[in-house]
Amino acid sequence: MLLEKISSTIDVIKNVQISDERKAVLKPLIDFIQGKVLANKTINLNFICTHNSRRSHLSQVWAQVAAHYFNVKNVYCYSGGTEATAMFPMAAKALELAGLKINNLSKGDNPVYSIKYAENEHPIIAFSKTYDSEFNPKSEFAAIMTCNNADVGCPFIPGAEKRIPVKYDDPKAFDNTPQQAEKYTERSNQIASEMLYVFSQIKL
């Protein structure tokens, strides 16, 4: 069962209308997941962005939450970058405001977070890493490119069965401005609404 506050957040977000243009962008991801479900195979999704600091983490977390919400089994979501930096604190804060339980497991230049979305599910372990990190799958996964730089800079992802661009604007543009918190929440909600749409389309 999802944590209560996340359920309330989803009740609002799942009614957001997805444009036909974005539905077309999301269709290859839906098709990949549906194919795995029909074949009764594990679904590995690796969300990739340049620094693995904002959009890729938000996408990883919301995809895992959406899979749980729509009862799509055997879904394992990962994230990585073309380089490792750190998960930006405001990205974690946006998830916390949505109702996820965030615990900081370590300090330092690249802190490790535990992100809990359901009482009886294993928490998501979030920290910045490269897409080919030992923490991530080596084969039989979809590489979902969440930013322009990673999409252009990584035309080939070793081991990926499918490479799917699903790009989002970077909330980093609003860092250290009065709109920072608002824009991170806005991006988190957009990603949440689209991941919920994706998994709502899966026929079990």
CATH number at residue 152: 3.40.50.2300
Backbone angles phi and psi of 28, in degrees to 5? -60, -35
Give Cβ neighbours of residue 101 (< 8 Å, ≥ 6 apart): 3, 114, 115, 116, 117, 123
Token pair listed for 89 = 């604190």
State percent of the chain over pLDDT 70. Answer: 100
Report DSSP state, residue 39.
T
Model confidence at 201, in pLDDT bands (50, 70, 90)? very high
CA angle 78, 82, 84 (to 5 degrees): 75
Phi then psi dihedrals of residue 31, to 5 deg: -65, -40
C-beta neighbour count of 107 within 10 angstroms: 8
Rounded Cα gap, residues 152 and 23, in angstroms = 22
- State how far the Cα of 167 lies from the Cα of 151, in Å rounded to an integer: 8
How does the average pLDDT of the chain come out, rounded?
96
Residue type, 96: E
Mean pLDDT of all residues in 137-150: 94
Tell whether the model's pLDDT for residue 154 goes beyond 80: no
Q: State yes or no: pLDDT of 49 exceeds 90.
A: yes
**How much is the average pLDDT of 118-137?**
97
pTM of the model: 0.97
Sorting pLDDT into bands at 50, 70 and 90, what band is 150? confident
Count of the separate structural domains present in the chain? 1
- Indicate the SS3 state at residue 134: coil
Q: What range defines the domain where residue 61 resides?
A: 4-13+21-169+176-200
Task: Say what the pLDDT of residue 152 is.
Answer: 81
The backbone torsions φ and ψ at residue 144, rounded to the nearest 5 degrees and listed phi first, read: -105, 115
Residue 152 makes CB contacts below 8 A (sequence gap 6+) with none
